[in-house]
Amino acid sequence: MTNDTVCSVEIIDREKVDRVNQHLTSPRETVDMAGLFKALADPTRLRIVQALLLEELCVCDISAVVDVSVSAISHQLRLLRTMRIVKYRKQGKQVFYSLDDEHISRLVKIALEHVIE
């Protein structure tokens, strides 16, 4: 049985391999990028990020939008903060969340464009 999706002979083009290797991210950067994608792979966390694309929200508002308990939202927000996906600010007794930077916004918008096409 043959497989048309892989080479039938093993020939390595050293120049191409070296050229590509010069531009790949470091192993540490690759692990960090994978962690970012893993954090966004959870549907609840992705819904939180999508909501924050539209507006800064307090924890209770996020809970209502995502329809998940405040406790569960707090847990997810803690992970998203650790990954530098969201940031927060306190105003009196409320805590408001927003996206950490424009990179996250662009990443989620590009992912949506890819899914829709």
**How far is 78 from 98, CA to CA, in rounded Å?**
13
Q: How confident is the model at residue 3 (pLDDT cuts 50, 70, 90)?
A: confident
Tens of pLDDT along 16-35?
999 999 999 999 999 999 99
CATH of residue 52: 1.10.10.10
Count of domains forming the chain = 1
**How far is 64 from 108, CA to CA, in rounded Å?**
21
| Residue in the structure block whose two tokens are 């690759």 | 30
For the chain, the first-to-last Cα distance in angstroms comes to 34
**How far is 37 from 32, CA to CA, in rounded Å?**
9
Q: What is the mean pLDDT of the chain?
A: 94
Do 47 and 41 meet the contact criterion of CB atoms below 8 Å apart? no
| Residue in the structure block whose two tokens are 């960090």 | 32
Residue 33 lies in a domain: yes
Residue 5 lies in a domain: no
Residue 3 lies in a domain: no
pTM, 2 dp: 0.84
The domain containing residue 89 runs over which residues?
A: 14-116
Residue 8 lies in a domain: no
Residue 103 lies in a domain: yes
Residue 1 has pLDDT above 60, yes or no: no
Residue 6 lies in a domain: no
Residue 109 lies in a domain: yes
Tens of pLDDT along 43-58?
999 999 999 999 999 9
